[in-house]
């Protein structure tokens, strides 16, 4: 896989980590408006990154949560444990 593949994945991993942190934080701070704004912006960023990634490298999720190109590309390598 090209180096961009790993760059995109790392970026996505980092953004999703920020979402986990904010999610846990907001569970105990439900009225922190700034954090909620940041959470929503980060969620949108994450969706964009996922969308871009899937355009380039194929589906991240299955069972109808991502699109497929032709031919069916869910079973293309690398598989998660090969990354």
The contact set with another protein (CB under 8 A) reads 10-11, 13-15, 17-18, 21-22, 25, 28-29, 32, 34-35
Q: What's the rounded Cα separation, in Å, for the pair 6 and 22?
A: 24
**Identity of the residue, 20 or 64, whose beta carbon is nearer to another protein in the bound complex:** 20
Shortest Å, Cβ 15 to another protein: 5
Q: What angle do CA 15, 52, 25 make, to 5 degrees?
A: 20
Cβ distance to another protein smaller for residue 11 or 73: 11
> Taking the CA atoms of the chain, what radius of gyration do you get in angstroms?
15
DSSP character at residue 78: P
Q: How far is the CB of 17 from another protein (least distance, A)?
A: 5
């Amino acid at each position: 896989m090209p180096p961009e593949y790993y760059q995109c994945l790392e970026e996505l991993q980092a953004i999703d980590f920020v979402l986990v942190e904010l999610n846990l934080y907001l569970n105990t701070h439900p009225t922190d408006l700034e954090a909620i704004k940041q959470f929503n912006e980060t969620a949108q960023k994450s969706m964009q990154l996922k969308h871009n990634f899937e355009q380039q490298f194929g589906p991240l999720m299955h069972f109808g949560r991502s699109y497929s190109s032709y031919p069916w590309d869910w079973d293309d390598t690398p598989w998660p444990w090969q990354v």
